[in-house]
Structure 1
Amino acid sequence: MQELWTVRSEFFWEARGFVVAYLFLFVVAMLRGQATYWLARVVTRQTLRRTSPTVGWRASVHRWLSGEGVARGTTSLQRWGVGMVPLCYLTVGFQTLVLAGAGVLQIRWPVFTLAQVPGALAWALIYSTIGFALWGAALAALAGQPLALAAVASVAVVVVATRAVLRRRRA
């Protein structure tokens, strides 16, 4: 009965082993990739081609899909082909742009899904082995270290402020 009330500070798969973690992360990667692809594909078809919203979340999505970031993703797909899809899983940030670019370019779903599988497998392997171990080590290092926490917060503030200034200059 005592075990029912014990609070555990671990991910649910840590007690279940590597295979469960790997499969869970693979499914997460596939679902995220498919969601990004279909959102970009449907929204592109409906929004970019038929409307031009000026306010609200629709305008934000319209600007994002027709903006510089997704344009870089579509350009890389046009230049390097569908091989960019599995490779994008090895990047941070560029991954979403390539997956959305595949939706914008209306790459056929079976082709996209087959290209996505090796990337999702690699992503799951990275995060189920060293990825979460690195996050855990970083959080443990920051726990109880006010100067380290202040340094991380300072870097975050600088990054956010720099992005805001760059966006304002472009506008």
Structure 2
Amino acid sequence: MDEIALTAGTLYVIVLLRAGGTFAVGWLAGAGTRRSRFARRISSEKFRRAERAIQRWGAPVVAASFLTVGFQTAANFLAGSMRMPLPRYLPALLLGGAAWALIYATAGLGVLALLGRLFAERTALGVSAVAVALLAGCGVVMYRRRRAAPSSGRTVADNEA
């Protein structure tokens, strides 16, 4: 139990600093970002979707964003760039960050304990499980990049140059 509390507390501090920092960067950047060299990055579909959700629902979207993968950074940055008032943002940050920390502390420690036991008792199976997880992650990244590539025949590398 102490291990989970320590891990959750550490993760909570990390998420508060990371998400709060992202909000602060968004706050400072404001509308000027849309006219800068970063405009292409923040005009991605992920950012546009986050912006629409924040405009419509506000703080609950920020809190719920912590339960997603890949949406929370966009939500916190856009909440800052849209100048969401701190009395609305901070409760969302505190609640969403707590949920994130508890989920990652409990599920994360459970997965690590399972992998530790697997490596100790059946090393080949543990190595295989990690290899499958890494291959699946690489597959997801490749799938998303190919899907996001423009249909004009240009590759993602061409667009980043």
- Normalising by structure 2, we get a TM-score of 0.74
Superposition map of 1:58-97 within 5 A: 61-97=38-74
Instruction: Give the conservation status (yes or no) of the 8 Å contact 2:4–2:109.
Output: no
Q: State the 4+ residue runs in structure 1 displaced beyond 6 angstroms.
A: none
Amino acid at match of 1:165: R
Instruction: Give the unaligned 5+ runs of structure 1.
Output: 1-13, 54-60
User: Is the contact made by 1:73 and 1:98 (CA closer than 8 Å) also made in structure 2?
Assistant: yes
- Normalised TM-score (structure 1): 0.70
Letter of the aligned partner of 2:10 in structure 1? F
1:144 and 2:121 are equivalent in the alignment: no
Gaps of 5+ in 2: 153-161
Q: 1:111 aligns with which of 80, 88, 95?
A: 88
CA distance in 2, matches of 1:87, 1:43: 23
Q: Quote the offset at 1:141 in angstroms.
A: 4.3
CA shift for structure 1 position 34: 0.5
Q: How many residues align?
A: 148
Question: Residues 117 and 163 from structure 1, CA distance in 2 versus in 1: closer, same or farther, beyond 3 angstroms?
Answer: same
Post-superposition offset of 1:69: 0.9
Instruction: Report if the CA contact (8 A) 2:24-2:80 is conserved.
Output: yes
Please provide the CA RMSD for this pair. 2.7
Map 1:95-134 → 2, pairs under 5 A: 95-134=72-111
Separation in structure 1 between the aligned mates of residue 151 and residue 116 of structure 2, nearest angstrom: 36
What's the offset of the Cα at 1:107?
A: 0.5
The residue type equivalent to 1:30 in the other structure is L
